[in-house]
Amino acid sequence: MVEEEKKKKSVDKASLELIDKACADEVNLAFDRAESMKPCPIGAVGSCCKNCGMGPCRVPLPKGKEETPEDKKKRRGICGATAETIAARNFVRMIAGGSAAHSDHGRGVAELFIAAAKGEAPGYQIRDEQKLLALALEWGVEISDRSNSDIAVEIGEIALAEFGRQEGELLFIKRAPLKRQEIWRQQGVVPRGIDREVVEIMHRTHMGVDQDYENLIQQGTRTALADGWGGSMLATELQDILFGTPAPVLSEVNLGVLKEDEVNIIIHGHEPLLSEMIVAVAREPEMIKLAESKGAKGINLAGICCTANEILMRHGVPLAGTFLQQELALVTGAVDAMVVDVQCIMESLPDIAQCYHTKIITTSPKAKMKGAVHIEFNEHDAVNGAREVVKSAIENFPNRGKNIRIPQEKHDLIAGFSHETINYLLGGLFRASYRPLNDNIINGRIRGVAGVVGCNNARWEHNQAHVAMVKELIKNDVLVLQTGCSAMASAMAGLMVPEAAAKYAGKGLAEVCETVGIPPVLHMGSCVDNSRILIAATAVVKDGGLGDDISDLPVAGAAPEWMSEKAISIGQYFIASGVYTIFGVTWPTEGSKEVTDYLFKDMEQMYGGMWAFETDPIKAAHLMIEHIDKKRKALGIDKARERVLYDMEMRRELDKV
Amino acid sequence: MDYKVVKKNAPGRGEVEILAETYEAGKPEGEDTGKWRQKLESRDEKLKYLQNGERYWYSDDWFGSEKRKTPA
């Protein structure tokens, strides 16, 4: 393979090494498919409607010339739907898909939570009483001398009811800054219930219903908020109570975490319900003994995608890689089982596994695959389910072939930066606080804060945009908060260790990081944990000194290599929460100038946040910094001010004015 | 622990001695190393922590940037 071509596929050496091996092994990868199949240019810009049997109707912009009013009139579907309606329908359907994925995850957690509280889910227990008490205080659940189980049953039932709520407002809306809540009420986008908003989008985008792109996007916003401040936040909160709130933990990242002499089990997907149990079972002495009896030295767990982030944050289980490395993990020939749950799982896995010895094990009734073994997760018998999975991997260890190559690349990282931990690290146990962060933003050591999140996209050089953008931001004194595959990309580049501050960050940010003892890039978890970023931003607002709303803060968001509908939902709820958010790779409403302008310009008037699109990660980082500087100017903290110590005489002078 | 001291230039005061890094060399070991929440043991301690440490949401007398007469 030509060196130049290889560089275009990934910035990661381990990935490049395995892409080469896959080529030699005649394994077809997502990288290859992306090369041989170009994206549909009409669908990519949201100009194709396939919502009824009269279509699909294609309404592309004219090629190579400005659209005339006559051309525009002709750009309609058979039902008369305009390019604006079609682009908006497609866009909000993406939001519905993303919101449904995050929220159905949240529902699964709520169901397990209730079962665990009732003692009907052996192996699960309340691990973080404090967070349980926090929710009880927030939702008015009586604490007194009730047992944790009693409180948890009531909390779980309230949480579960949020999904089917028909009217009123979601409970977590009240966590947002007061001004933000008022904006949402004025705009009519406070979610009534999580499922209701998703269903309403599916109704409104059915043939012949909502034909006003602004009205469609308003419902998209409400649905996205039902994700960020609803389903995702519920998932995060209940998982923290059940499995523990993340605290700083040292681990490793990249495919070099696989071990040649141990049973390698990869946990892949998004829901940590079964994987929590697999982590526990893999440490059982009888399992280790069984592995040894098969010639292995132990059991090595590693993760891919957000299930990986979940078990990293709470147990320090190493990360094998990002979304685009799932196939490559199999190409090592050293993975004895890949256990998958839901979301971002490539259907190519069983085919690739056939070239090696890997068992692909599906565990969710919602996500089965042809060619995989199915061991269904049952919360009432999760321990035995987990044992069956681990045993299956161990039994497969002797079947490994000789065609094994585990790359050497791996890097240390510190993860576990939940909102609670950041608050504690900044202020200590006796006066946890965001004050030091706010003070250092005000004094300019920290220019601002950026959330860089999202996926990999096979249409873009793997990890390139994440790493380039994050390096540029920290070089300019912007503290970066990350989740998902984006966090893994930075960790692989060595940005998630405290030493990275001196090496990569600007002087001001480096000083703060050194003082607090944190990396300049903080891993906040999985994609549902973007809700942690919302809470951190709210805490900054509430601590004071930086305006009274998230839209006043010198902050920005980005998903430079996005690909999933979940990313669109996340972007929309960040914008509706007041955050300038920039996406790379491709933009799904480019087929309609009106819809794109509405998202990129008008929304700022309504919500204080807006979308932007830029494929060059350095330019995108500069746009984020420009926005941060704009907010600093509006706050009056753009220039260093001389501090004057007032004596009594000067104070008396002040009183006279 | 023996504290390390380094010399740095201070504005208007010439070279001064200041305390250098105080962290221990090496990597932390064990999953429980960073787990700070276990420091709070009783339910009372946890509730007090919420009212103080998480005062933005759980304290009645904290308003921060949001002090206003009529709540939203």
Query: Does A463 share its domain with A595?
Result: yes
Give Cβ neighbours of residue A630 (< 8 Å, ≥ 6 apart): none
Yes or no, beta carbons of B53 and A433 under 8 Å apart: yes
Q: In chain A, which residues have their Cβ closer than 8 Å to the Cβ of B64?
A: 541-544
Question: Could you tell me the two tokens for A203?
Answer: 């109704």
Half-sphere exposure of A384 (CA within 13 A, CB side): 6
Distance from CA of A273 to the nearest CA of B (A): 19
Q: What is the CATH number of the domain that holds A108?
A: 1.20.1270.30
Q: In chain B, which residues have their Cβ closer than 8 Å to the Cβ of A129?
A: 43, 46
Q: Is residue A651 part of a domain?
A: no
In 3-state terms, what secondary structure has residue B22? Answer: coil
Distance (Å, whole) CA A382 – CA A375: 11
Q: Where are the alpha helices (DSSP H) in A60-123?
A: 69-74, 83-117
Query: Does A216 share its domain with A105?
Result: yes
Query: Does A617 share its domain with A482?
Result: yes
Q: Which residue of A has its CA nearest to B32?
A: A249
Distance (Å, whole) CA A175 – CA A624: 26
Q: Is residue A646 part of a domain?
A: no
Query: Could you tell me the pLDDT band of residue B28, with boundaries at 50, 70 and 90?
Result: confident
Yes or no, beta carbons of B39 and A429 under 8 Å apart: yes
Distance (Å, whole) CA A366 – CA A368: 7
Nearest to A539 among B27, B39, B56 (CB): B56
In 3-state terms, what secondary structure has residue A266? Answer: strand
Distance (Å, whole) CA A87 – CA A46: 5
Distance (Å, whole) CA A312 – CA A496: 13
Query: Does A448 share its domain with A557?
Result: yes
Yes or no, beta carbons of B56 and A542 under 8 Å apart: yes
Q: List the beta strands (DSSP E) in A513-568.
A: 521-523, 555-559
Nearest to A178 among B34, B50, B66 (CB): B66
Nearest to B23 among A249, A517, A538 (CB): A517
Distance (Å, whole) CA A302 – CA A321: 9
Q: In chain A, which residues have their Cβ closer than 8 Å to the Cβ of B53?
A: 423-424, 427, 429, 431-433
A419 neighbors B54 (Cβ within 8 angstroms): no
Domain residue limits, chain B: 37-64
Per the structure, the count of domains in chain A is 4
Q: How many Cβ pairs closer than 8 A exist between chain A and B?
A: 99
Question: Could you tell me the two tokens for A10?
Answer: 């990934």
Domain end point (choices A211, A243, A275) = A243
Question: Could you tell me the two tokens for A218?
Answer: 């308003």
Q: Does A543 touch chain B (CB under 8 A)?
A: yes
Yes or no, beta carbons of B46 and A133 under 8 Å apart: yes
Query: Does A310 share its domain with A352?
Result: yes
Nearest to A178 among B53, B62, B68 (CB): B68
What are the pLDDT digits (tens) for A584-628? 999 999 999 999 999 999 999 999 999 999 999 999 999 999 999
Query: Does A135 share its domain with A158?
Result: yes
3-state secondary structure A389-417: HHHHHHHHHHHCCCCCCCCCCCEEEEECC
Check whether the bond before A56 is cis (ω within 30° of 0).
Answer: yes
Q: What is the CATH number of the domain that holds A259?
A: 3.40.50.2030
The residue assigned the tokens 């919101």 is A99
* Average pLDDT across chain A, whole number: 95
Query: Does A468 share its domain with A430?
Result: yes
Q: Does A197 touch chain B (CB under 8 A)?
A: no
Nearest to B66 among A177, A517, A546 (CB): A177
Query: Does A237 share its domain with A260?
Result: no
Which amino acid, A160? Answer: L
Distance from CA of A41 to the nearest CA of B (A): 46
Which amino acid, A14? Answer: A
Yes or no, beta carbons of A247 and B28 under 8 Å apart: no
Q: In chain B, which residues have their Cβ closer than 8 Å to the Cβ of A250?
A: 27-28, 33-34
Eight-class DSSP state of A50: -
Q: With a cut of 90, say whether residue B29 has pLDDT above it.
A: no
Nearest to A134 among B43, B58, B62 (CB): B58
Q: Is residue A204 part of a domain?
A: yes
Phi, psi of A129 (to 5 degrees): -65, -35
Distance (Å, whole) CA A103 – CA A81: 30
Give Cβ neighbours of residue A359 (< 8 Å, ≥ 6 apart): A336, A337, A338, A353, A373, A392, A393, A396
- Chain A 486-515, residues with CB within 8 Å of chain B CB atoms: 514
Distance (Å, whole) CA A266 – CA A318: 10
Nearest CA among A135, A235, A178 for reference residue A527: A235
What are the pLDDT digits (tens) for A336-388? 999 999 999 999 999 999 999 999 999 999 999 999 999 999 989 999 999 99
Nearest to B31 among A130, A315, A544 (CB): A315
- Chain A 337-376, residues with CB within 8 Å of chain B CB atoms: none
Distance (Å, whole) CA A530 – CA A453: 8
Eight-class DSSP state of A324: G
CA angle A517–A521–A320, rounded 5-degree value? 110
Q: Would you give the distance in Å from CA A483 to the centre of its chain?
A: 5
Q: Which pLDDT does position B27 carry in this prediction?
A: 83
Query: Does A24 share its domain with A147?
Result: no
Q: Is residue A645 part of a domain?
A: no
* Residue span of the structural domain in which A225 resides: 83-243
A132 neighbors A126 (Cβ within 8 angstroms): yes
Q: Is residue A655 part of a domain?
A: no
Query: Does A30 share its domain with A96?
Result: no
Q: In chain A, which residues have their Cβ closer than 8 Å to the Cβ of B43?
A: 129, 133, 143
Sites in chain A below the pLDDT cut of 50: 1-2, 6
Nearest to A543 among B31, B56, B68 (CB): B56
Eight-class DSSP state of A531: H
Nearest CA among A9, A15, A114 for reference residue A493: A15
Q: Which pLDDT does position A2 carry in this prediction?
A: 47
Sort residue A386 into left (φ over 0), alpha (ψ -120 to 50) or beta. Answer: alpha
Burial label, A430 (beta-carbon count in 10 A; 0-12, 13-18, 19+): exposed
Query: Does A95 share its domain with A192?
Result: yes
Do strands A48-49 and A57-58 pair parallel, antiparallel, or not at all (unpaired)? Answer: antiparallel
Q: Is residue A286 part of a domain?
A: yes
Which amino acid, A548? Answer: D
Q: Is residue A77 part of a domain?
A: no
In 3-state terms, what secondary structure has residue A264? Answer: strand
Q: Which residue of B has its CA nearest to A515?
A: B21
Distance from CA of A451 to the nearest CA of B (A): 21
Distance (Å, whole) CA A103 – CA A101: 6
Nearest CA among A436, A440, A439 for reference residue A424: A436
Sort residue A485 into left (φ over 0), alpha (ψ -120 to 50) or beta. Answer: alpha
- Chain A 231-270, residues with CB within 8 Å of chain B CB atoms: 244-245, 247-250
Best mutation target among A133, A314, A523, A635 (most B Cβ atoms within 10 Å) is: A133
Distance from CA of A184 to the nearest CA of B (A): 11
Query: Does A395 share its domain with A427?
Result: no
What are the beta bridge partners of residue A300? A264
